[in-house]
Amino acid sequence: MLFHVRMDVNIPKDMPKEEADQIKMTEKAYSQALQQQGKWRHLWRITGQYSNISIFDVDSNEELHNLLQALPLYPYMNIEVMALNRHPSSVRDSDA
Amino acid sequence: MLFHVRMDVNIPKDMPKEEADQIKMTEKAYSQALQQQGKWRHLWRITGQYSNISIFDVDSNEELHNLLQALPLYPYMNIEVMALNRHPSSVRDSDA
Amino acid sequence: MLFHVRMDVNIPKDMPKEEADQIKMTEKAYSQALQQQGKWRHLWRITGQYSNISIFDVDSNEELHNLLQALPLYPYMNIEVMALNRHPSSVRDSDA
Amino acid sequence: MLFHVRMDVNIPKDMPKEEADQIKMTEKAYSQALQQQGKWRHLWRITGQYSNISIFDVDSNEELHNLLQALPLYPYMNIEVMALNRHPSSVRDSDA
Amino acid sequence: MLFHVRMDVNIPKDMPKEEADQIKMTEKAYSQALQQQGKWRHLWRITGQYSNISIFDVDSNEELHNLLQALPLYPYMNIEVMALNRHPSSVRDSDA
Amino acid sequence: MLFHVRMDVNIPKDMPKEEADQIKMTEKAYSQALQQQGKWRHLWRITGQYSNISIFDVDSNEELHNLLQALPLYPYMNIEVMALNRHPSSVRDSDA
Amino acid sequence: MLFHVRMDVNIPKDMPKEEADQIKMTEKAYSQALQQQGKWRHLWRITGQYSNISIFDVDSNEELHNLLQALPLYPYMNIEVMALNRHPSSVRDSDA
Amino acid sequence: MLFHVRMDVNIPKDMPKEEADQIKMTEKAYSQALQQQGKWRHLWRITGQYSNISIFDVDSNEELHNLLQALPLYPYMNIEVMALNRHPSSVRDSDA
Amino acid sequence: MLFHVRMDVNIPKDMPKEEADQIKMTEKAYSQALQQQGKWRHLWRITGQYSNISIFDVDSNEELHNLLQALPLYPYMNIEVMALNRHPSSVRDSDA
Amino acid sequence: MLFHVRMDVNIPKDMPKEEADQIKMTEKAYSQALQQQGKWRHLWRITGQYSNISIFDVDSNEELHNLLQALPLYPYMNIEVMALNRHPSSVRDSDA
């Protein structure tokens, strides 16, 4: 089941650089693990912004919430979720 | 080069059904041709709405505009375009 | 899987009364059938508005979209969908 | 009498973890007591957000205000209230 | 129980003047009857707009919805409802 | 002359409790004096929010501004003013 | 007493040209009479829009409403009213 | 050439009172000098807000920007600029 | 003097094609004449929309308003004007 | 390929003046280098605001993102990007 997620990151300017770097490194590893498992199907940067557009492929709303809440950057992000469906004009059976 | 496009369709309620069906059929064929060519990389329906989220992979803004303007439903759609980049945490070389 | 759906109804003022009454009657029957099946778990009127707040319990985004799209009033409604989760503080196992 | 309440929680990032945990624990106990009494009829998490959608069943606006104002997280929440009615198409006498 | 209601009136410009006058006359009589009964406690015009701010004193959300839905101008109005409480600093026991 | 005023209070979370209590106590006394004089005709709490809806009856914009600016909570409030008129359908000569 | 008024004019495109010209001519005469009387103190066009910013100097909200409602273009305008005060830094006693 | 400028002032609550008073005094002197020169044609307080509506009469966008940027309160204000024209219905040759 | 202008075109769907084509042809000629004279310095299409971003170089607000109001598509456009200045970091004396 | 970029600068008020001056000086040098290379085609100040409108001419979304992210003021700016096309009515072959 597909979901469109937009994440806007806003790290406080007074967070020490080492702490921020540590969180971003953990975030990257976590994100790449989910991509390898096929849960986080797409991940794009929005041009000019510290924001991304992501497509998740999960079994339930519950699973999506748990994945998002576990993001190391979760406390510093604004997240918007939008449910998606396969489009009747898509040429692929599963357009994930 | 990737672009995130949202299309909200609003066909006038007084358009004769045959005319609307004809436009939708042409739209579907046109969309599928672009998908086959790899220009229209993803096409999802937003749950509960007559709207879609699409990812286009084009050579320029010019090409994107021409593809969108040629959509049979173009006169009946509201379109929003957002430029995308490969994300530094993506596990794929070309995450199209 | 639960979804929060808001529907704002806007029937054109020039629709003949019989046609409008017919659509509303079919809508009511359809809605009540879905409620009996447990798909449409709650249905409330927003005070002072021709709008409702509904809770759907479905197996997938796909199923929700199909149920909504089949609403007789669908062409005359603005619909907003929001995915929900069981809340960790809820006292019920399945707070549908 | 039913009310639809949306609560968005925003705990200051510099609040000591013990203090935050204490408030959340008290909040959970308070919320569950109200649920047991049938005042707080439903409580759902919005997917991907530190927010909930709740349905309250109270005798008056006054009672609702007092219940909300007594929430341990009240100083850290943005709250929106919307009055609800039984819907004429609901299949239940009291769709709380 | 008090509610703050804002009504913005928008009568279609092509409605025949007699029909519009008839609706407005019925509206006025209906409004004045409710004022006499103490249900519609205050009624003010917003300066420069075809809109009013009203205070209703009713027994339930249900009663408020029924009163509003029965307004002769109801099909031509946008209505917003906001629940009110007695304010702890008010000098009157029942500041209706 | 009547004005509709909405005040949203936002006291900084780091203000010492004694200071906040002192300001609120002075605010209450000030508000009640204006109510006794008939300047502050109505004062209602918005359900679920630290906000009020007030009706002022003053001689001029100047007088209203001076009354509002002298509120002890003025530095911590967002204030919106809307001019009101007697409504032609009101049953009272002076619906203050 | 001063008020800041913004008027956005929106004449229906299907109104016959003679009718529109007639309304605009009456509007101009009416506006100029009020300017001569000192009620309508300033009248500016917003660059690039069929909109104006006006300053009215009236005795009451009531008077302002009556002047605005009598505008020949009133049914075709969106109007916003904002109460003004003399500014304490103004160099003029009555900065109308 | 006329411009409509709205300034919303927001002095940080932790600025020492002497510093704030000093800035406001300088601001007042600066504003009055510009009024005397005929550059700052009108200056009104918005009722109930720490905001003003001003009309500037300058030779160019450049001059306007320089005047605004030199305001002592400039770092603490949100400023919106709107170009104005003489209105064809104005009774004055130069309605500044 | 430079102005940033955004124009969103919205031609009624029921305008006969010949009439629309005629207006567009006149618009194009008019626009190109102004470009040749150096008044309309830049003209760009917004990707995916029937909208443009333009830069005008005019002597006054008055001149800009007259140029815009004379656009053949003026009755079918929404126009937003924003005053611009030379930027202190620009490498060109006159960055028009 | 052209992009329209709006940057709103918001330097924290508690940043030491030397630090702010240093960042602005580096920003200016960086911006002028990009202008010299023809990447940053236009740069205008919005009248009355610490904001600019810029036109970039780059080979890809990727290049634009990298240029923007490298701005010394990037952590203190809100940036909005909009893709542009040559306009069919433009008199210039490449209206950059």
A67-94 core/surface letters (b: 16 or more CB in 10 A; e: else): bbbebbbeebbebebbbbbbbebbeeee
Q: Give percent above pLDDT 70 in chain H.
A: 100
When CB atoms are compared, the residue of I12, I65, I75 closest to G47 is I65
Residues spanned by the domain of G47? 2-84
Query: With bands split at pLDDT 50, 70 and 90, how would you rate the model's confidence at H96?
Result: confident
Q: Which helix (H) or strand (E) holds E79?
A: strand E77-86
Q: For the segment A68-79, what is each residue's pLDDT rounded down to a tens digit?
A: 999 999 999 999
The string of DSSP codes covering C4-26 is EEEEEE---TTS-HHHHHHHHHH
Our measurement of the distance from residue C94's CA atom to the centroid of its chain's CA atoms, rounded to an integer in Å, reads: 20
Tell me, what's the pLDDT at D50? 96
Neighbouring chains of C at 3+ CB pairs under 8 Å are: A, B, D, E
Determine, for residues E81 and C47 on separate chains, whether the beta-carbon distance falls below 8 Å. yes
The answer to whether the predicted template modeling score (pTM) of the entire model surpasses 0.90 is yes
Chain I residues with CB-CB distance to G49 below 8 A: 79, 81
Determine, for residues A64 and D47 on separate chains, whether the beta-carbon distance falls below 8 Å. yes
Chain A residues interacting with chain C (CB cutoff of 8 angstroms): 1-3, 60-62, 64-65, 81-86
Asked if the model's pLDDT at residue D95 lies above 80, the reply is no
Q: How many domains does chain C have?
A: 1
Chain F residues with CB-CB distance to G85 below 8 A: 61-62, 65
Q: What angle do CA C28, C29, C35 make, to 5 degrees?
A: 90
- pLDDT under 70 in chain B at which residues? none
Mean pLDDT of all residues belonging to chain A: 95
What CA–CA distance (Å, rounded) separates E43 from E32?
10
Query: Nearest CA to CA, how far is A14 from chain B (Å)?
Result: 24
Chain A residues interacting with chain B (CB cutoff of 8 angstroms): 2, 4, 27-28, 31-32, 35-36, 42-48, 52-53, 55, 82-92, 95
Tell me the Cα Rg of chain A: 15
Residue appearing with tokens 């815009």: I68
Work out the burial of residue F89: count CB atoms within 10 Å of its CB; fewer than 13 is exposed, 13-18 middle, 19 or more buried.
Answer: middle
Q: Which of C31, C50, C47 is nearest to C39 (CA)?
A: C31
Find the mean pLDDT for residues I42-59. Answer: 97
Residue C59 lies in a domain: yes
What CA–CA distance (Å, rounded) separates E3 from E53?
11
Neighbouring chains of F at 3+ CB pairs under 8 Å are: D, E, G, H
Residue appearing with tokens 């596990």: B91
Q: For the segment B74-88, what is each residue's pLDDT rounded down to a tens digit?
A: 999 999 999 999 999
DSSP classification of residue I8:
E
Residue F64 lies in a domain: yes
Residue appearing with tokens 């707070």: C95
Q: Which helix (H) or strand (E) holds F77?
A: strand F77-86
Do at least 3 CB pairs under 8 Å connect A with D? yes
- pLDDT under 70 in chain G at which residues? none
- Cβ atoms of residues D51 and D10 within 8 Å: no
Query: Nearest CA to CA, how far is A21 from chain B (Å)?
Result: 14
Chain A residues with CB-CB distance to C3 below 8 A: 61, 83
Mean pLDDT of all residues belonging to chain I: 95
* Structure-derived torsion over alpha carbons of residues F42, F45, F51, F52, reported in degrees to the nearest 10: -10
Chain B residues with CB-CB distance to A36 below 8 A: 91
* Structure-derived torsion over alpha carbons of residues J49, J52, J53, J57, reported in degrees to the nearest 10: 180
Query: With bands split at pLDDT 50, 70 and 90, how would you rate the model's confidence at J47?
Result: very high
| Helix, strand, coil share of chain G (percent; to 5) | 35, 35, 35
Tell me the Cα Rg of chain B: 15
| Count of beta carbons in the 10 Å neighbourhood of residue D3 | 25
When CB atoms are compared, the residue of B12, B75, B79 closest to I49 is B79
Query: With bands split at pLDDT 50, 70 and 90, how would you rate the model's confidence at A30?
Result: very high
Residue I91 lies in a domain: no
- Cβ atoms of residues F72 and F27 within 8 Å: yes
Query: Nearest CA to CA, how far is J69 from chain H (Å)?
Result: 25
Residue E57 lies in a domain: yes
Residue D40 lies in a domain: yes
- Cβ atoms of residues B54 and B70 within 8 Å: no
Residue E91 lies in a domain: no
Do at least 3 CB pairs under 8 Å connect D with I? no
Tell me, what's the pLDDT at I53? 98
Work out the burial of residue H71: count CB atoms within 10 Å of its CB; fewer than 13 is exposed, 13-18 middle, 19 or more buried.
Answer: buried
Nearest CA in chain I to H83: I61
Neighbouring chains of J at 3+ CB pairs under 8 Å are: A, B, H, I
Strand ranges (E), chain H: 2-9, 40-46, 51-57, 77-86
Longest dimension (CA), chain B: 49
Phi, psi of D47 (to 5 degrees): -55, 125
Determine, for residues G61 and E47 on separate chains, whether the beta-carbon distance falls below 8 Å. yes
Tell me, what's the pLDDT at J94? 74
Tell me, what's the pLDDT at B47? 98
Tell me, what's the pLDDT at D62? 96
When CB atoms are compared, the residue of F62, F65, F85 closest to G61 is F85
Asked if the model's pLDDT at residue D18 lies above 90, the reply is yes
Q: For the segment H15-60, what is each residue's pLDDT rounded down to a tens digit?
A: 999 999 999 999 999 999 999 999 999 999 999 999 999 999 999 9
What CA–CA distance (Å, rounded) separates H54 from H45?
9
Mean pLDDT of all residues belonging to chain F: 95
Tell me, what's the pLDDT at G94? 74
Q: What CATH number does residue B53 fall under?
A: 3.30.70.1060
Tell me, what's the pLDDT at I94? 73
State which amino acid sits at residue I82. Answer: M
Chain F residues with CB-CB distance to D79 below 8 A: 48-49
Q: For the segment G48-74, what is each residue's pLDDT rounded down to a tens digit?
A: 999 999 999 999 999 999 999 999 999
Tell me, what's the pLDDT at I95? 73
- Cβ atoms of residues A52 and A7 within 8 Å: yes
Residue G96 lies in a domain: no
Residue A95 lies in a domain: no
State which amino acid sits at residue B63. Answer: E
What CA–CA distance (Å, rounded) separates I5 from I65?
11
| C-alpha dist (Å) from residue J79 to B62, F56, I4, I80, J7 | 22, 43, 17, 20, 5
Tell me the Cα Rg of chain G: 15
Tell me, what's the pLDDT at F31? 97
Q: For the segment D45-90, what is each residue's pLDDT rounded down to a tens digit?
A: 999 999 999 999 999 999 999 999 999 999 999 999 999 999 999 9
What CA–CA distance (Å, rounded) separates H23 from J7?
28
Chain H residues with CB-CB distance to G61 below 8 A: none
Chain H residues with CB-CB distance to J47 below 8 A: 61, 64-65, 68, 81
What CA–CA distance (Å, rounded) separates B11 from B43?
19
Chain B residues interacting with chain A (CB cutoff of 8 angstroms): 2, 4, 27-28, 31-32, 35-36, 42-48, 52-53, 55, 82-92, 95
| C-alpha dist (Å) from residue I13 to A13, B14, B75, E13, I19 | 50, 12, 8, 21, 12
Asked if the model's pLDDT at residue J95 lies above 80, the reply is no
Tell me, what's the pLDDT at D96? 73
Query: With bands split at pLDDT 50, 70 and 90, how would you rate the model's confidence at A48?
Result: very high
Predicted-complex ipTM score: 0.95
Asked if the model's pLDDT at residue C94 lies above 80, the reply is no
